[in-house]
Structure 1
Amino acid sequence: MHSLPFNFLRPSEEVIAKMFDFRSLNRAKLPIFSTISFAAIFLLIIFADSFISNLSLHSVAFGTKRTPQQELQTHNKQKLKSTSTQKPLLLVKEEVEVSYGEVHNHLVPPFNVSREERIAWFKRKFPEFEIFESSRLTSQFDSRVREFFGHGCEIQFFMTWISPAKSFGRREFLAMESLFKAHPRGCLTILSKTMDSVSGYRILEPLLERGFRALAVTPDLSFLFKDTPAEAWFNDIKTGKRDPGEIPLAQNLSNLIRLAILYKYGGIYLDTDFIVLKDFSGMRNSIGAQSIDAYGNWTRLNNAVLVFDKNHPLLYKFIEEFASTFDGNRWGHNGPYLVSRVVERSLATKALYNFTILPPIAFYPVDWSRIPGFFVRPNTWTQTKWVEAKLLQLSGGATYGGVFSTVNLKLFVSNGRCLNVIHWSAYAR
């Protein structure tokens, strides 16, 4: 690899601004995915810090072709074992997104009140929770989804969005762009009442005009949860028999909806801040470890990326755990910690659920809390060689993407120049 002079590597501020203005995609002459190639190379570098060469897997083979699991398995042939503890770890992305999503203030549960007072508050506010409303759109949910997926979808993706459409911004659009860059014949369904609107259509329009298949659809929660353990939990929440907790209910509904949608239809769930770097085709029944110990044993799983067949038994166990252990007062308990608990028990009892635990390099190559330290433009020969080495380190293709959390968005925009250095140096290889 040869390095280019820094003055050659720095695009103009005008070019940088164009890269981030997704609203002008229709008018811009730059290809729609210029930002994606930019972000993909950048993420490969900043995520590389947590690369561990001797990662291990708990995997199963699918067919004779080389699957994504087998590709990742080249790091280590040993099983990825659990060493998770009951003590919460500050490695879970969900724990820092308390303010994310612009939840309506009047729908945020009051703090420092009793369980009874909170339930009474929820009963009063229940009519204002639009996601619980039944309408013509909710009644059409299943038929719209099936029709959408029934016309040439090579692979089906799901995202959820419970926040206002106006808060669906650059980061989320970038995630969709990256998805279609890697899967031009894939289909993306966004479960969202707010995005299933004129405003939402305008956000998706730049992608739709280029032939990509994205659909925002108002979910029918009663249909999604029917005939699952979540059905009773949902009824208890609606009737005020269950404490929704201090955490905004939208957060916990998102954790449950992603499980239910995959159980009903099968496919791939992605958080709206996940940047896709590689084709997911061939991957089945997989969940990613977010952290591992020095011996390659996983310490925490995450639910930002889930890949499962329809009616998979492990998904049923996840839903069952959500309904039976729901706690609306503990961040992460109903999300990342939930999947960790269930998988740990399944491995301990040797339950045969036919799934794969992928190492952090696949979906969570770096701890989100360490990302800000990587937003520094290399300004010495040593630092430039370090960047090149990190790119080579990940050239094996084991990384499928990464989470692009709220704090990173601010750094991404404010440090555009240094990120372009990484982008252009990668193309100089």
Structure 2
Amino acid sequence: MFDSQVFSLSRTKLRIISTITFAALIFIIYTDSIASEISHQSRTFSDKQIVDELAAHERTELGRLRSSIGLLQIRSMQEETGDQREVEVLDDEKDLPVPPLNVTEEERIAWLRENLSKFDIFKSNNITRLFHGRVLEFFNHDCEAHFFMTWISPARSFGHREFLTMDSLFKSHPRGCLMILSKSMDSARGYMILKPLLDRGFKVVAVTPDLPFLLKNTPAKAWFKGIRRAEKDPGEIPLAQNLSNLLRLAVLYKYGGVYMDTDFIVLKPLTGLKNSIGAQSMDMESKKWNRLNNAFLAFDMNHPLLFKFMQEFAYTFDGNKWGHNGPYLVSRVVGRVRRRPGYNFTVLPSKAFYPVDWLRISGLFQAPKNQASSKWVKAKLLQLNGETYGVHLWNRQTNRLAIEEGSVMESLISNHCVICQQIYTSKTKVSKRC
């Protein structure tokens, strides 16, 4: 992923940038697919040599591509998503209102004041007041690990790929306990989605969160109070996105455990990871991270780094910049505190959870087209199964891609799935579950 400055753009400018970015993306994928056909005519490689060749090839190609498009401002598709207003919603029947574009701060605050009643997550009621008791009761089971996910979207949009994340999690943690913080999934429809896992004895539940309770005695309490009273600017980014960023921090700070986004495939047990955060990208020469991501977090209860994250969220909140209160936030904070005593955390290398960036992730879904690409698939599988805990699938980029027969993803699902046995066998045949 390339660093870029995120601007507040008019709708016309957004369309122009999106067109340029899409063209650049097509160019990158095309050149990458050509370059991936590594020549093996003169010698036969061992598995280790294939992996070494793969790593060298990817470094060379990424550097060449960066040079060739160095003058073009490329933003990640997730950054584009924030600007294109793809809204996540909290209710299973209706969407949350969307903050207006190109208005003043005062006008956005007025908009929030008019729409407060539509944000159910701000409310405390009989259901939310049961939250703490339900958490304690659920994790009172014999759990080898405590896992959290959030779903601030309708239950109807919880699809095959999200189910795959849960499925692969239980493949590696059959005695784990997974709680999904979600009002929409805490419903009859949500129960039916989870039922295939429950029928097999896995411990999974959806619970309506109580944000006022979770943020009590945290640095983010005052921020949330201001938003709840429509006294603070929510920004142009859909507010649900930023509430999700905060919710994961708060629940880990309150209870401890592992948080994961719903677009991973888990490859191996995560129980050995303590107080850890994953690097999204690293400098190839120095091996130092240059960006972290908050899609995977594993922390003890009351960990000081989580406190710092929430403090940063509250003090520097900017609802007009994609990622400012999420991936960029954790990168800023860790960059400041990593050499200070008392924090006791680990930054995992990018291969742990982000072994393929959002530009290249589509390659994992494609069938090999010749002998060279077949060796590439073999090398990639060796690499993933040896060094990777889970693969972030960048769902915004891949949720409409078919999993082709013979692809890396087909193999991963076959080996790391309990229920998802029927997968894509062509670009047009869709699996029933994955």
Aligned twin of 1:101: 88
Write the mapping of 1:38-77 to structure 2, written as runs, cut at 5 A. Answer: none
Aligned to 1:423, which of 402, 407, 411?
A: 411
Gaps of 5+ in 2: 1-50, 57-72, 416-434
Over residues 250-280 of structure 1, what are the superposed CA-to-partner deviations in whole Å (9 max), with x where a residue is unaligned?
0000000000000000000000112111100
Number of equivalences: 343
Write the mapping of 1:25-424 to structure 2, written as runs, cut at 5 A. Answer: 90=75, 93=78, 96=81, 99=86, 101=88, 107-294=97-284, 295-347=286-338, 350-411=340-401, 413=402, 415-419=403-407, 423=411
Q: What letter corresponds to residue 120 of structure 1 in structure 2? A: A
For residues 77 and 289 of structure 2, what CA distance do their matches in structure 1 show?
13
For residues 158 and 357 of structure 1, what CA distance do their matches in structure 2 show?
20
Matched position secondary structure for 2:213: helix
Q: 1:419 to 1:89 in 2, by over 3 A?
A: same
Q: What letter corresponds to residue 101 of structure 1 in structure 2? A: E
- Residues 365 and 399 in structure 1, CA contact (< 8 A), matched pair in contact too: no
Matched position secondary structure for 1:396: helix
For residues 286 and 176 of structure 1, what CA distance do their matches in structure 2 show?
20
For residues 287 and 424 of structure 1, what CA distance do their matches in structure 2 show?
23
Report the CA distance between 1:93 and its aligned residue. 4.7
Over residues 132-161 of structure 1, what are the superposed CA-to-partner deviations in whole Å (9 max), with x where a residue is unaligned?
222211000000001000111110000111
Q: 1:313 to 1:183 in 2, by over 3 A?
A: same
- Residues 102 and 167 in structure 1, CA contact (< 8 A), matched pair in contact too: no
- Residues 170 and 202 in structure 2, CA contact (< 8 A), matched pair in contact too: yes
TM-score, normalised relative to structure 1 = 0.75
For residues 335 and 192 of structure 1, what CA distance do their matches in structure 2 show?
19
Q: What letter corresponds to residue 246 of structure 2 in structure 1? A: L
- Residues 151 and 181 in structure 2, CA contact (< 8 A), matched pair in contact too: yes
Matched position secondary structure for 2:127: helix
- Residues 365 and 409 in structure 2, CA contact (< 8 A), matched pair in contact too: no
Report the CA distance between 1:363 and its aligned residue. 0.6
For residues 224 and 307 of structure 2, what CA distance do their matches in structure 1 show?
15
Task: Name the structure, 1 or 2, with higher relative contact order (CA <8 Å, separation 6+).
Answer: 1
Report the CA distance between 1:368 and its aligned residue. 1.2
TM-score, normalised relative to structure 2 = 0.74
Q: What letter corresponds to residue 324 of structure 1 in structure 2? A: Y
Q: What letter corresponds to residue 297 of structure 2 in structure 1? A: L
- Residues 126 and 238 in structure 1, CA contact (< 8 A), matched pair in contact too: yes
| Between 104-113 and 245-254, the greater mean CA deviation after superposition | 104-113
Give the RMSD, CA atoms, in angstroms.
Answer: 2.6
Report the CA distance between 1:369 and its aligned residue. 1.9
Gaps of 5+ in 1: 1-47, 54-87
Over residues 313-355 of structure 1, what are the superposed CA-to-partner deviations in whole Å (9 max), with x where a residue is unaligned?
00000000000000000000000000000000012x5243000
- Residues 87 and 98 in structure 2, CA contact (< 8 A), matched pair in contact too: no
